[in-house]
């Protein structure tokens, strides 16, 4: 499909689906935010004859709370991880986070966030015949205290930064500071939004068609630094990108996250590009 034909079709879809965008309507209605009109985004990044694939899916939590659940899948060669982050959409506060890692070793970690700290639990299959990670043997369990002076701060997970960034590009205040918890570490993330360069894109909108050509973007820069610089080695990861400086490039017209750019282990500076968008049904 030609780009001009796609744009016409895409605009018709947007009119039906309100707006195909990754933005979250926290500023307009913080107490009752609406899910974005995308449900799932897929990304790819290739290096050294291997392709890393990632997907992000955002849904309402299955319980009766007003929380949302962000499901992340990352895979490269024979290694994969599945991350679930349940958070309060009104402020980004993490409620529960799980991470299932598979490959040479399997492990399942659960993090519960409350006013007393982060309750961390690690499970491994061991000699158990259990197939569900929740039934594996507990190999460690502890409470991670929040750093001093964080009593009134919102603590969230790395992948919530994408939702926060998509909101930031719509606000008059173009900067935001947040605290992110990884495994054992806490990071300060300084976010700022600004117009950015045009990007060449090539991705598919499920049920609509292909998007190819140049797109104007708005960028959100993430300056990520550990609160305790003498602590454990850096374990921050956002689709494989490490702490330091990450650029999130959003489509200026649709708000979709087109690209993530930053440094990855063994690769150096790299780009992770959008490959497919799954729109949310207008009835959802």
4/148: higher pLDDT: 148
> Torsion angle, CA of 167/52/183/168, rounded to 10 degrees?
-10
Report yes or no: 69 and 61 within 8 Å, Cβ to Cβ: yes
Tens-digit pLDDT profile for residues 144-194: 999 888 767 889 999 999 988 888 887 766 788 899 999 989 999 999 998
- Stated as kind and residue range, the H or E segment containing 16 is helix 3-17
d(CA 147, CA 203): 41
**Rounded-to-integer distance, Cα 151 and Cα 95, Å:** 16
Phi/psi of residue 69, each to 5°?
Answer: -125, 125
DSSP 238: B
Per-residue confidence band for 2, with pLDDT thresholds at 50, 70 and 90: very low
Per DSSP, the three-state class of 77 is coil
Query: Which pLDDT score, from 0 to 100, does residue 14 have?
Result: 40
For residue 141, the SS3 value is strand
- Beta bridge partners, 226, equal 187
Report the alpha-carbon distance of residue 121 to residue 125 in Å, rounded. 14
Top-confidence residue, 155 or 230: 155
Residue that has been written with the tokens 């500023």 in this structure: 27
Question: Which residues lie closer than 8 Å to 173 by C-beta, 6 or more apart?
Answer: none
Q: What is the pTM of this model?
A: 0.84
Q: What is the pLDDT of residues 104-122, one digit of tens each?
A: 789 999 999 998 899 999 9
How far apart are the C-alpha atoms of 48 and 12, rounded to whole Å?
Answer: 40
Report residue 256 as tokens. 């979709």
């Amino acid at each position: 499909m030609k780009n001009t034909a796609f744009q016409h079709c895409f605009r018709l879809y947007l009119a039906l689906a309100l707006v195909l965008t990754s933005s979250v309507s926290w500023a307009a209605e913080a107490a009752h935010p609406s899910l974005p009109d995308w449900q799932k985004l897929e990304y790819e990044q290739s290096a050294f004859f291997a392709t890393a694939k990632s997907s992000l899916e955002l849904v309402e939590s299955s319980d009766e709370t007003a929380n949302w659940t962000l499901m992340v899948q990352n895979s490269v060669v024979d290694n994969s991880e599945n991350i679930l982050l349940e958070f309060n959409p009104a402020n980004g506060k993490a409620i529960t986070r799980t991470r299932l890692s598979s490959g040479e070793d399997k492990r399942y970690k659960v993090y519960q966030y409350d006013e007393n700290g982060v309750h961390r639990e690690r499970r491994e299959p061991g000699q158990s015949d259990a197939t569900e990670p929740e039934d594996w043997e507990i190999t460690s369990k502890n409470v991670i205290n929040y750093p001093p002076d964080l009593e009134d701060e919102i603590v969230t997970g790395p992948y919530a930064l994408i939702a926060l960034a998509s909101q930031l590009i719509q606000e008059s205040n173009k900067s935001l500071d947040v605290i992110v918890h990884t495994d054992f570490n806490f990071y300060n993330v300084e976010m700022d939004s600004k117009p950015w360069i045009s990007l060449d894109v090539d991705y598919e909108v499920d049920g609509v068609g292909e998007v190819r050509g140049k797109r104007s973007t708005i960028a959100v820069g993430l300056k990520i630094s550990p609160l305790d610089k003498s602590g454990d080695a850096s374990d921050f990861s956002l689709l494989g990108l490490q702490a330091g400086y990450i650029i999130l490039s959003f489509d200026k017209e649709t708000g979709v996250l087109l690209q993530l750019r930053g440094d990855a282990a063994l690769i150096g500076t790299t780009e992770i590009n959008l490959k497919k968008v799954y729109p949310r049904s207008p009835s959802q």
